[in-house]
Amino acid sequence: MPAQAQIVAETGVVVPSYVSVADLILAAPVVLDARIRSSARIKGPEAANAAPGHARFYIEADVLALIRAAAPMPARVGYVVDVPLDARGRVPKLNKQRVLLFVRPVAGQPAMVQLPRLDAQRTWTPELDALVRRIVREVVDPAAPPAVAGLGNAFHVPGTLPGEGETQIFVQTATGAPISLSILRRPGEQRRWAVALGEIVDDAAAPPPRDTLLWYRLACGLPRALPASSLAEQDPATAAIAREDYAFVLAQLGSCNR
């Protein structure tokens, strides 16, 4: 599935990109496959701050499957959602619609959940369901790459031949777990780069496959340029090469288009 573009499923429903779905999952500790049992439109002061072009509803939905949750969930949940109106400004039909919900529990109300984002209720499709489950498996894996918090030291070491050298960039993470980037230059060859999740960069290190959690963490979390603090110990010539190599890595990752 393309990372930067939405696709249209056979049902005609737009399937969000990997980035969009990962954003939803990481913002919501609970992911449910559910079917809307009843819907009641909320009007008046309680709907005064509804999103423009949307109508506010109170929904009760039957839980069909628990895709992600830290604790058991009730068989039926209630929540408030702002639903977009159609092109003619009409209220959509919600009852019996199958949806994927990216939600948070409500403290003290076990049968209630809260949508953290406007788009946290999505129409169910087989394609979206498969993508959601794949990303959830990546996120809950004990070896899942952590979020990027910044950049540490970066340095370039020239080789013995003109144009030869290696740049290493240390990535700071939310958990403190090590991530490093290495960029290798060889005369007459294209630059190669790799990412390592550990203290040591070995020969098996490689760029992360696109549309994976590690790719997402880097493409969406890395700063757009090396900060001056990362190059404080480098002379101007090697610092310039390190900046070029970092820009090369960003270009290879591609933009995080939300």
Contact 182, 167 (CB under 8 A): yes
pLDDT single digits (tens) 71-105: 999 999 999 999 999 888 898 899 999 999 999 99
Q: What is the pLDDT of residue 5?
A: 44
Mean pLDDT, rounded, for 182-209: 87
Mean confidence (pLDDT) of the chain:
92
d(CA 168, CA 157): 8
Q: Return the structure tokens found at 192.
A: 């190669």
Q: What is the pLDDT of residue 10?
A: 54
Contact 36, 94 (CB under 8 A): yes
pLDDT single digits (tens) 114-124: 999 999 999 99
Question: For the domain that residue 96 is a member of, what is the CATH number?
Answer: 2.40.50.120
Q: What is the pLDDT of residue 201?
A: 64
Backbone torsion region of residue 239, taken as left when φ is above 0, otherwise alpha when ψ lies between -120 and 50, otherwise beta = alpha
| 124/17 same-domain check | yes
Share of the chain above pLDDT 90, in %: 86
| 123/22 same-domain check | yes
Q: What is the pLDDT of residue 92?
A: 86
Mean pLDDT, rounded, for 133-157: 97
| 107/203 same-domain check | no
pLDDT single digits (tens) 218-245: 999 999 999 999 999 999 999 999 999 9
State the pLDDT confidence band at 46, using cuts at 50, 70 and 90. very high
* 16 in a structural domain: yes
How many CA within 13 A on the CB side of residue 168?
Answer: 13
Domain count, the chain: 2
Q: Look at residues 108, 140, 172 and tell me which one is the last residue of a structural domain.
A: 140
State the pLDDT confidence band at 180, using cuts at 50, 70 and 90. very high
How many CA within 13 A on the CB side of residue 96?
Answer: 1
Q: What is the pLDDT of residue 81?
A: 97
Q: In which domain, by residue range, is 162 found? A: 148-253
Residue 69 has pLDDT above 60, yes or no: yes
Name residues whose C-beta falls within 8 Å of residue 97's C-beta, 6 or more positions apart in sequence.
35, 36, 123
| 12/69 same-domain check | yes
| 169/193 same-domain check | yes
| 120/155 same-domain check | no
